[in-house]
Amino acid sequence: MNFFKNKRILIGVSGGIAAYKAVILCSILRKAGAKLKIVLTENAQKFVTKLTFESVSGFPVYVSMWEKQGFDIDHISLKDFADITIIVPATANIIGKAACGICDDLLSTVLIGLKTPVFVVPAMNSDMYQNNILQQNIQKLSQNGFYFMEPCIGNLACGVVGKGKMPEPEEILEFIENKLNFSENSSQKTIMITLGATREYFDRARFLSNPSTGKMGSAIIDELINNNFNVIAVCGHISENIVINKKALCINVVSAIDMEKAVEENIKKVAAFISCAAVSDFRPEFIFDGKLKKQNADLNNIKFVKNPDILKNVSAANPDILMIGFAAETDNFIDNGLKKLKQKSLDMLVLNDISRKDIGFATDNNEVIIFEKNIQEPYLVKKSSKSDISKIIVKKIKEILNKN
């Protein structure tokens, strides 16, 4: 908890049954040496009183736009006070107000003026949390720099078990510290990643592609964002159940040519490029107008041309950018891996064995061999979840970037 010592933290408490946990959070922060100011909404005071927060925190508590403390304008002085703001618990109401810029009480008015990190901890009934309008509001605020911590699954006050329970105060503070406490060298660096499968159309109904779902790429994106990188995600076709992190800038593409163009347009903005997409090696020379009919299709006249090697071309044109590639192989792993690492001038290559059915495409697990430039022995990551493998990959990327 040393991270929070002398930090100026504004706590916003809205009207939910989990408001009592905000009292515990304030107590922990006080013991850690943080300087607090606390804002309670009118509904929050129906669960926990102003006196309780004042007694536990030892710091001033604000409840109204019209009850001034001193000569300062409260909603201005409060937003200027904060190094960090935490809204805990955050109801659907306060999230909706913030997303729409509504300022009808002290807390919502303070929120619209904040320029420092805002952490939001929703807690509510599971149906309310999953409501499309609330999720759109969360996405809107996330795109504007708010950090959201997902609620837990558990017993809710309404008597059901579902997603909507507020995490414990210690977990909230760990989440905040992990988001803010990162090395200066990796701070705000941008990484671009390609993921998913490209599609090369023959006609308006058929295409050449592969089984990639985007699961590995999505896991890497989550881990990059957890490590405070900005992410540009160039997405080919991904499975419907894969959700790309809302904090990533997502550029959707279809073909390899589309993907190459998107990469070239954004490559100068990044510190590292990860080529995780499964790109078709070939494409039809031209797309038939309409749909090819079985009875008159002359398949012998369908000619293929090579697609560009996006990673090789980008690597050759940008020698100062960290280059990480993925390769799918069925045999001769070490020889093929070392060959591709050298031929494409890569800093790292992650090799997948696609001959096995229990790992790789469309599975939750993988087993990879990681090759690194100037390191003789490749590193085997035995069968693990794609989430765990992403942690290893991102850790290595950070180590390399911090050396440069």
To the query of whether residue 235 is one of the catalytic residues in this protein, the response is no
HEC-encoded secondary structure of the chain = CHHHCCCEEEEEECCCCCHHHHHHHHHHHHHCCCEEEEEECCCHHHCCCHHHHHHHHCCCEECCCCCCCCCCCHHHHHHHHCCEEEEEEECHHHHHHHHHCCCCCHHHHHHCCCCCCEEEEECCCHHHHHCHHHHHHHHHHHHCCCEECCCEEEECCCCCEEEEECCCHHHHHHHHHHHHCCCHHHCCCEEEEEECECCEECCCCCEECCCCCCHHHHHHHHHHHHCCCEEEEEECECCCCCCCCCCCEEEECCCHHHHHHHHHHHHHHCCEEEECCECCCEEECCCCCCCCCHHHCCHHHCCEEECCCHHHHHHHHCCCCEEEEEEEECCCHHHHHHHHHHHCCCCEEEEEECCCCCCCCCCCEEEEEEEECCCCCCEEEEEEEHHHHHHHHHHHHHHHHHHC
Question: Of 26, 100, 152, 158, which is the active-site residue?
Answer: 158
Which residues are known to be catalytic? 158
